Amino acid sequence: MTISALPEWSLTARVSNSVTVLDEVASTNTWAIEHQLEPYSVVLSWNQTHGRGRWNRSWISQPGEALALSVVFPPSLPDGQVSVSASWIPLLAGTSAVRSLAKLGIEGVAAKWPNDIVCEAGKLGGILTEVDGVGQPIIGLGLNVQFSKDRPVPQAVSLAELRELEPDTVDTFVAHFLEELKFARQLQAQERSRHVRETLLTVGRFVRVSPSNGESWNGFAEGLGEDGALLVRDDHGSLLPQRASEVEHLYQ
Ligand code: BTN
């Protein structure tokens, strides 16, 4: 069932022309991909049954406990604004999520390269960016909001553990998130990198890198490349750009 712009999402409806709320959906990302929506359309559900994560993993959530959100991110704009390469998009989404949480008074949350929203206690959310049939990036964000019993996975943390929830807390978050994405979208390359670095926990840390097809190794994350790759110095002094590896923070 599709209901557009329920009162519950009135703040979100002020910043997006298309808000689709699904009572139940396999994956909001898949739904957005299949429907080829206009830029900054929003698809939301409190009951996502087959949420997908990075590396073909599942994003697990119980009905009503996590927000599943997908936003269409314009790949290029008619007014000649800079185009954003695909590898920057999860990073822009991460920084937008962290800044939106900070606007709700939630401090101590940061982005972990490339797609996690974390705090000291664990993982609050995750991002999966995909592309729809007409080449529009779809930003998928899963945000743990409140657990009634057990955590879906041991490292999961919910918004309710960080802040008292009010009826409009999540709607306010989504509206901020949209505004932050629009702001991030128009940044030029240098500002974009600085913007992402401000909320990114990974740069300046020792990390363990696990490539999709190779052995894990440890190194020091020195910065971000022009395309958003994580630049990691290995033990031999080589600076190796990481684009699709899994990265773990060492020595918390
Ligand atoms: C990860 O942690 O690996 C990313 C998880 C992304 C989950 C979100 S929930 C909304 C959107 N729909 C999906 O199927 N996945 C993303």
The answer to whether residues 84 and 90 touch, using CB atoms and an 8 Å cutoff, is no
CA 193 from centroid of its chain's CA atoms? 16
Cis peptide before 114 (omega within 30 of 0): yes
Residue identifier of the C-alpha nearest atom 11 of ligand 1:
140
244 Cβ contact list (under 8 Å, min separation 6): 211, 212
Strand-pair partners of 122: 119
Distance 141 CA to ligand 1 centre (A): 5
Rounded distance between C-alpha atoms, residue 197 and residue 200, angstroms: 5
Which of 52, 54, 89, 245 maximizes ligand 1 atoms within 8 Å of its Cβ, making it the mutation to test the pocket?
52
Q: Report the length, in residues, of the chain.
A: 252
Please report the pLDDT score of residue 5 as a whole number: 41
Rounded distance between C-alpha atoms, residue 125 and residue 93, angstroms: 11
Rounded distance between C-alpha atoms, residue 102 and residue 199, angstroms: 10
Residue identifier of the C-alpha nearest atom 9 of ligand 1:
142
Amino acid 95 reads T
Please report the pLDDT score of residue 1 as a whole number: 33
CA 240 from centroid of its chain's CA atoms? 24
Closest ligand 1 atom to Cα of 66: 9
- pLDDT tens string for the chain (252 positions)? 343 444 589 999 999 999 999 999 999 999 999 999 999 999 999 999 999 998 889 999 999 999 999 999 987 655 655 678 888 999 999 999 999 999 999 999 999 999 999 999 999 999 999 998 888 999 999 999 999 999 999 999 999 999 999 999 999 999 999 999 999 999 988 999 999 999 999 999 999 999 988 899 999 999 999 999 999 999 999 999 999 899 999 975
Please report the pLDDT score of residue 76 as a whole number: 64
The answer to whether residues 163 and 106 touch, using CB atoms and an 8 Å cutoff, is yes
Which of 30, 141, 247, 248 maximizes ligand 1 atoms within 8 Å of its Cβ, making it the mutation to test the pocket?
141
Please report the pLDDT score of residue 45 as a whole number: 97
CB-ligand 1 contact for 14 (6 Å cutoff): no
Please report the pLDDT score of residue 165 as a whole number: 93
If we measure between CA atoms, which residue out of 202, 207, 42, 56 comes closest to residue 128? 56
Please report the pLDDT score of residue 77 as a whole number: 58
| Cut 0.85: pTM above it | yes
Residue identifier of the C-alpha nearest atom 7 of ligand 1:
142
CB-ligand 1 contact for 129 (6 Å cutoff): no
5 Cβ contact list (under 8 Å, min separation 6): 12, 13, 19, 21
CB-ligand 1 contact for 68 (6 Å cutoff): yes
Strand-pair partners of 209: 217, 247
Give the three-state DSSP class for 163. coil
Distances (CA, A) of 119 to 101, 108, 158, 160, 243: 11, 6, 10, 13, 23
CB-ligand 1 contact for 126 (6 Å cutoff): yes
The answer to whether residues 176 and 100 touch, using CB atoms and an 8 Å cutoff, is yes
Please report the pLDDT score of residue 3 as a whole number: 37
Instruction: State which H helix or E strand residue 66 sits in.
Output: strand 66-72
CB-ligand 1 contact for 54 (6 Å cutoff): yes
Distances (CA, A) of 64 to 2, 49, 82, 101, 169: 17, 11, 38, 19, 14
